[in-house]
Amino acid sequence: MTSTQTRADPILRIESVTKSFGSFTAVRDVSLEVGEGEFVTLLGPSGCGKSTLLRMIAGFEQPTSGAIRMRGQDISQQAAYDREIGMVFQNLALFPHLNVFDNVAFGLRARRRTEGIDRKVREMLALVGLEGFETRGTAQISGGQRQRVALARSLVTSPDILLLDEPLSALDLKLRRQLQGELKRIQQDTGITFIFVTHDQEEALSMSDRIAVMNAGRVEQFGSAVDTYHRPQTEFVARFVGETNLLRGQVHAADAARVTLRLDGLAAPVAVAVPLPAGETPPGQGDPVAISVRPEHVELGRPGLHTCEARVTSHSFSGATITYALDSAAGPLLARVPFQPGQGHPLPDGQSVSAGWPDEAVTLIPDQPGHDTTDKEI
Amino acid sequence: MTSRIVAWAVLLFLPLPIVIVVLSSFTSAGYLSFPIEGVSLRWYAEFLGSADWLKVLGTSALLALIGALVSTGASFAAAWAVVRHGVPLGGSYETLLLTPLIFPHAAIGVIMIVTLAGLGWLGTFTGLVLVHCILTIPYAYRPVAAALRKADPALEEAAASLGARPWRIFWLVSLPAVRPGLVTSLLFSFIISFDEVTVTMFLVGPFVMTLPVQVFSEVLESASPIIAAVSAALVLFTSLMVFVLDRVIGIQFFVERD
Ligand SMILES: Nc1ncnc2c1ncn2[C@@H]1O[C@H](COP(=O)(O)OP(=O)(O)OP(=O)(O)O)[C@@H](O)[C@H]1O
Ligand SMILES: [Mg+2]
CATH of the domain at B154: 1.10.3720.10
Residue B146 lies in a domain: yes
Residue B8 lies in a domain: no
d(CA B242, CA B248): 10
d(CA A333, CA A330): 8
Q: What confidence tens digit (pLDDT) does each residue in A94-141 have?
A: 999 899 999 999 999 998 888 889 999 999 999 888 989 999 999 999
Chain A positions contacting chain B at CB under 8 Å are: 58-60, 79-81, 83, 85-87, 89, 91, 93, 95-97, 106-107, 110-111, 153-154, 157
The pLDDT assigned to B246 comes to 78
CA distance A95 to chain B (A): 7
Whether residue A2 is predicted with pLDDT greater than 80 in this model: the reply is no
* Residue whose CA is at the smallest distance from ligand 1 atom 11: A26
Whether residue A333 is predicted with pLDDT greater than 70 in this model: the reply is yes
Whole-number Å distance, alpha carbon A46 to ligand 1 midpoint, is 8
Chain B residue numbers touching A91 (CB-CB < 8 A): 152, 154
Whether residue A370 is predicted with pLDDT greater than 80 in this model: the reply is no
The CA dihedral of B96, B97, B98, B104, to the nearest 10 degrees, is 80
Q: What confidence tens digit (pLDDT) does each residue in A22-73 have?
A: 999 999 999 999 999 999 999 999 999 999 999 999 999 999 999 999 998 9
Q: What's the full length of chain B, in residues?
A: 258
Strand A39-43 with A210-215, pairing: parallel
The pLDDT assigned to A273 comes to 64
Whole-number Å distance, alpha carbon A285 to ligand 2 midpoint, is 42
* Residue whose CA is at the smallest distance from ligand 1 atom 25: A46
Nearest CA in chain B to A94: B155
If 0-12 CB within 10 Å is exposed, 13-18 middle and 19+ buried, where does residue B128 land?
Answer: buried
Q: What confidence tens digit (pLDDT) does each residue in A82-93 have?
A: 999 999 998 899
Q: How many other CB atoms sit within 10 Å of the CB of residue A287?
A: 15
Number of domains into which chain B is organized: 1
d(CA A63, CA A17): 6
A81 lines ligand 1 (CB under 6 A): no
Residue B132 lies in a domain: yes
CA distance A103 to chain B (A): 10
Evaluate the CA torsion angle A128, A130, A131, A133 in order and state its sign.
negative
pLDDT means per 10 residues, chain B with 258 residues, are 85 85 86 82 89 91 95 94 83 84 89 91 91 93 91 92 94 90 90 90 87 88 86 87 78 49
CA-atom Rg of chain A in angstroms: 24
Residue B38 lies in a domain: no
Site to probe by mutation for ligand 1, drawn from A51, A89, A240, A376 as the one with most ligand atoms within 8 Å of Cβ, is A51
DSSP string, B11-64: HHHTTHHHHHHHHHTTB-SSS--SS-SSB--HHHHHHHH-HHHHHHHHHHHHHH
Residue B70 lies in a domain: yes
Residue B200 lies in a domain: yes
For residues A178-198, one letter each, b for 16 or more C-beta atoms within 10 angstroms of the residue's C-beta and e for the rest, the string is: ebbebbbebbeeeebbbbbbb
What is the maximum alpha-carbon separation in chain A?
Answer: 76
Higher pLDDT, A63 or A340: A63
The pLDDT assigned to A368 comes to 58
Q: What confidence tens digit (pLDDT) does each residue in A152-207 have?
A: 999 999 999 999 999 888 788 888 888 899 999 999 999 999 999 998 999 999 99
Residue B72 lies in a domain: yes
pTM of the model: 0.81
The pLDDT assigned to B251 comes to 64
Do the chains contact at B161 and A79, CB–CB below 8 Å? Answer: no
CA distance A51 to chain B (A): 13
The pLDDT assigned to A321 comes to 87
Residue B234 lies in a domain: no
d(CA A363, CA A234): 10
Do the chains contact at B163 and A87, CB–CB below 8 Å? Answer: no
Over range A273-288, report the average pLDDT.
70
The pLDDT assigned to B255 comes to 44
B88 is in which domain, residue-wise? 56-215
The pLDDT assigned to A145 comes to 92
d(CA B248, CA B238): 15
Q: Is B246 left (phi over 0), alpha (psi -120 to 50) or beta?
A: alpha
Higher pLDDT, A290 or A378: A290
The pLDDT assigned to B95 comes to 86
Whole-number Å distance, alpha carbon A101 to ligand 2 midpoint, is 28
Nearest CA in chain A to B163: A81
Do the chains contact at A86 and B161, CB–CB below 8 Å? Answer: yes
Closest CA to B83 of B158, B192, B164, B156: B156
Chain B residue numbers touching A138 (CB-CB < 8 A): none
Confidence grade of residue A258 (pLDDT, cut at 50, 70, 90): confident
A198 lines ligand 1 (CB under 6 A): no
Over range A219-243, report the average pLDDT.
91
Whether residue A1 is predicted with pLDDT greater than 70 in this model: the reply is no
Interface of B with A in 114-153 (CB under 8 A): 152
d(CA B59, CA B64): 8
